[in-house]
Amino acid sequence: MSFMKHLGAVSVAVALSIAAPLSAQNVKIALDSAKDLENSGTYIWAHTFSEYLNANGMEAEEFERGALGDEAEKMDQVQQGLLEVSLSDTKRVGALDGNIIPLTLPYLFPDWATADRALANGMLDKINEGTTPQGVRVIANVALGSAAGIFNTKKPVNTAADMADLRMRALDDAQIGVYQLWGTNGTIVAWDEVPNALQTGIADGYLNPPMVPIMFGHTGFIKYFTNAKVGLGSRTAIVSEDWFQGLSPEQQKIVMDGAAAATKANREWLATRTSELDALREAGIEVTELTPEAWAEFKALSTPLHNTVPLPEGSLAAWQAAIGE
C-alpha cells in the first residue's frame, strides 16, 4: 500500500472513531512548510493532527507557513495563548528549556527510534518541566526527513578537507561551532533569506535533510549533496499551555491522542523515504556518498561539540539514561 493510501486509511479509521460531539474549539495550527503530503514530514504530522481533532469535535484550521508570523512571533503568540498549535524551530524551543537541544546535536542519535525511546522514557516530561511554566507545552518532535547532509553550490564534498573553502549558512552559533570543527566557517542567515544568500555568495551551502531544497525550491542553485548523515532534522510541535489547561480532561486527551496519531504517521512516512537521493539526482543535484572512513572523520570532528554547547546540568547524562544503552 502506498503511503498516501495508508494515510487515507488512517483518516477513515479516525473518522469512524468519533466520540460524542464536544463544544467547538477553534484550534489554529501554524504550519512550517507547504501543504505537501508527499515530501513534507511536518505537514504529514500537522494534517494528521488537524484531521484527528476535527473528527473528534475540535474544530482545527491549518494556516500557511508565514501567515501567522515568523518564528519569534509564533512563539510569542503561543506563550500568550493567542495561537494554539505551532510547528516550531526546535532550537527556539531550546531557548525555553535546553534539555531539548541534544536532539539537534550532530552524530548523537543514530536514528529516530533511539530518540523516541528516550522521549518516552522521561525526556519529554523533563523538557515540559521547563517549558510549561513559560506558556509552552511540547507535544511531539517531528522528523523532517532522512538524516541531514551537506548541500552546497560549488563542488562535491568527499572529506572534511573539502569543506575548507565553503562558507556555510548557519542557524545559530552552535552550528557555526560545527563548521569550525570541520575546518570551515559559517554565517547566520534567516531561512527566508537563504535563497538570496546562496545566489549572491553570502553562503555556499547548508545542512539539511535531503528533501529540503526540493520542498523550498532551491534546486536552481544547489548543485551538490553529501550524504553525511549528520543528525536528526526536526521541528517541534508545541501548544499553548494556557489553552491546553483551559480544555476539559476529555479534550486534553483528544489533543494528546491526536499528537500520538500524527507522530505515528510522521514516522511511517519517514520509513518510506528510501528514494530521496534519487529525487535529488532527478532534480539535477549531484549526490556524494561518504566512505566509512570519511563519515567516521566527520563524526570524530563533531563530537567535541557535545561537551561545549551550553546545556542544563546533567542533560546529556539524562538522555543517555533514557535511551537505555
Tell me the residue type at 102. P
Q: DSSP character for 141?
A: E
d(CA 5, CA 206): 33
String of DSSP letters for 170-217: ESSHHHHHHHHHTT-EEEE--GGGHHHHHHHTS--EEEE-TTHHHHTT
Mean pLDDT of 55-63: 97
Q: How many CB atoms are closer than 10 A to CB 1?
A: 8
Helices (H) and strands (E) in the chain, counts: 14, 11
3-state SS, residue 147: coil
d(CA 87, CA 84): 11
Answer for the pair 270, 233: CB distance below 8 angstroms, yes or no.
no
Structural domains for the chain: 3-145+234-271 (3.40.190.170), 149-227+275-309 (3.40.190.170)
Residue 145 pLDDT: 86
Task: Find the largest Cα–Cα distance for the chain.
Answer: 62
d(CA 238, CA 95): 14
User: pTM higher than 0.85, yes or no?
Assistant: no
pLDDT in tens, 61-77: 999 999 999 999 999 99
Q: Poorest-confidence range of 166-170, 229-233, 259-263, 284-288?
A: 229-233
What does pLDDT average to over the chain?
Answer: 91
Q: Which residues pair with 235 in a beta bridge?
A: 89, 142
Q: DSSP character for 20?
A: S
Q: pLDDT band for position 275 (50/70/90)?
A: confident
3-state SS, residue 142: strand
How far lies 307's CA from each of 44, 171, 282, in Å?
Answer: 34, 19, 39
What interhelical angle do 41-55 and 3-16 show, nearest 10?
20
Q: Which residues pair with 115 in a beta bridge?
A: none
Q: Quick one: cell of 301? A: 570532528
Q: pLDDT band for position 7 (50/70/90)?
A: low
pLDDT in tens, 205-247: 999 999 899 989 999 999 999 999 999 989 999 999 999 999 9
Residues 6 or more apart whose Cβ sits within 8 Å of residue 101: 91, 94, 174, 309, 311, 315
Q: DSSP character for 237?
A: E
Q: What percent of the chain has pLDDT over 70?
A: 92
Residue 129 pLDDT: 98
More confident: 274 or 213: 213
Residue 319: alpha-carbon gap to chain centroid? 18
Residues 6 or more apart whose Cβ sits within 8 Å of residue 140: 45, 236, 237, 259, 262, 263, 266
pLDDT in tens, 8-33: 544 434 443 333 333 445 999 999 99
The phi, psi pair for 81, rounded to 5°, reads: 85, 15
Apex CA 177: angle with CA 171 and CA 182, to 5°?
Answer: 110
Answer for the pair 103, 141: CB distance below 8 angstroms, yes or no.
yes
pLDDT in tens, 135-149: 999 999 999 988 999
CB crowding 130-141: b at 16 or more within 10 Å, else e: bbbeebbbbbbb
